[in-house]
Amino acid sequence: MSHDMSEEKLPEHRGSEGHEVAVHDDPFADPGLPPHEVRRTDIDERAARRAERQVALLFTVSMLATIGFIASYVVFPIDQIVFIWPFGHVSSLNFALGTTLGAALFCIGAGAVHWARTLMSDVEVADERHPIEAPEDVRAKVISDFKAGAEESGFGRRKLLRNTLIGSMALVPLSGVVLLRDLGPLPGKKLEHTGWDAATPAKPIKLVSMNTDEPLKAEDVTVGSLVFAKPQGLSEASEGFQQAIAKDAVMLVRIAPEDIKDRPSREMGFDGILAFSKICTHVGCPISLYEQQTHHVLCPCHQSTFDLSDGARVIFGPAGHPLPQLKIKTDADGNLIATGDFNAPVGPSYWERA
């Protein structure tokens, strides 16, 4: 079979039904611009004012929605769940925030689009391509075109549009400022103090065993042992127990007084008994591994090691501070008591820490 085809059967010579097809000499010829269609707002000032009010209404709704977004943070509780058809059970706060912020942004966009389609000049202008670098006459032309565009947009002449646009654009960024609340409440002085802060020389707090809830006496802590304690009155039935014990937990160790290298640390203890925070100063893990020959304690999470005979200073690992120490003594019955808070904030470092 021959694959030759005569030229008269090619598409440029005949149509699908055998009719002749016109062929242009230049397939990329410039078709030109369509004729300009005059809009109603171009010839009717009442229609232009009506469009202006519509745009201003959209910008005003945006401002009200932004105010509603901010008010939602105050009005709706974080944990409130409500049923909203057809979404089902949703967080009232999240629904209010999403709705108001979406409305604020949508109304700004819709107002800008409606402004451009009804009031700004829609005359199409063709311009020749030019080199990237702009000569002086081009820069002058750009400035002239910008001024002409600003004049045609009515930004300076239509004060209602200008003021409502500026108002809506100025209020929207406030939504981001309010979101800073999700970073949590400011810590204030809460990180600097623990439950031991209520102890004073006149009203000391007894140290009780973590296991038995019984007061600890000096003879209960033997050389080489590690005993865990908490403030008297703090039990698992107490409200906020987990939050309190995360800062109040204490470990007691007894070292021969002559083996204690740090003098201030020795003076804060009683007869070689030293009380340190059980909370690692790296990321807050509980410390429980004690080596009695070296007097070192090891955090099991990241292997931070502290020398309890030398003020619990860090000798290895990522922890940045020594373990805070609690000043202790005994009362008339021989019970170990604390007369004040730890000598430093408990737990990991934070940027407000002195």
What dotted CATH number matches 191-342? 2.102.10.10
What does the alpha-carbon distance between residue 180 and residue 39 come to, in Å, rounded to a whole number?
46
Q: How confident is the model at residue 187 (pLDDT cuts 50, 70, 90)?
A: low
pLDDT tens string 324-351: 999 999 999 999 999 999 999 999 987 7
Residue type, 231: P
The pLDDT of residue 230 is above 90: yes
- Report field, pTM of the whole predicted structure over 0.85: no
Residue 236's identity, in one-letter code, is: E
* 122 pLDDT higher than 90: no
Between 54 and 133, the more confident residue is: 54
Q: Does the bond joining 86 to the residue before it have cis omega, within 30 degrees of 0?
A: yes
Using pLDDT thresholds of 50, 70 and 90, give the confidence band for residue 3.
Answer: low
d(CA 279, CA 190): 16
Among 4-8, 12-16, 55-59, 113-117, the range scoring the smallest mean pLDDT is 12-16
Q: Sorting pLDDT into bands at 50, 70 and 90, what band is 1?
A: very low
For residue 306, the model assigns a pLDDT of: 96
Q: In this structure, what DSSP letter does residue 56 have? A: H
Q: Which pair of tokens denotes residue 241?
A: 């127990």
Specify the pairing of strand 273-277 against strand 289-291: unpaired
Tell me if residue 208 falls in helix, strand or coil: strand
Residue 316: pLDDT above 70? Answer: yes
Chain Cα centroid distance, residue 237: 34
For position 295, what pLDDT does the model report? 93
Where exactly are the structural domains of the chain? 7-118, 191-342
Task: Measure CA of the first residue to CA of the last residue in the chain; give whole Å.
Answer: 95
Gap between the Cα atoms of 87 and 98, Å rounded = 13
